[in-house]
Amino acid sequence: MATDPELAVRGAVTDGEMHTLFAAAWGGDSDTSWAPILARSLAWITARRDGTLVGFVNVATDGGSHAFLLDTTVHPDEQHRGLGTRLVRAATEQARAAGAEWLHVDYEPHLTGFYAGCGFRPTDAGLRRLAPAPTAAPG
What CA–CA distance (Å, rounded) separates 89 from 103?
A: 11
CATH superfamily of this structure's domain 6-117? Gcn5-related N-acetyltransferase (GNAT) (3.40.630.30)
Give the model confidence (pLDDT) of 88-128 as tens digits.
999 999 999 999 999 999 999 999 999 999 999 998 888 78
Rounded-to-integer distance, Cα 79 and Cα 122, Å: 22
Which of 77, 117, 21, 64 is CA-nearest to residue 105?
117
User: With bands split at pLDDT 50, 70 and 90, how would you rate the model's confidence at 28?
Assistant: confident
At residue 137, the 3 state secondary structure works out as: coil
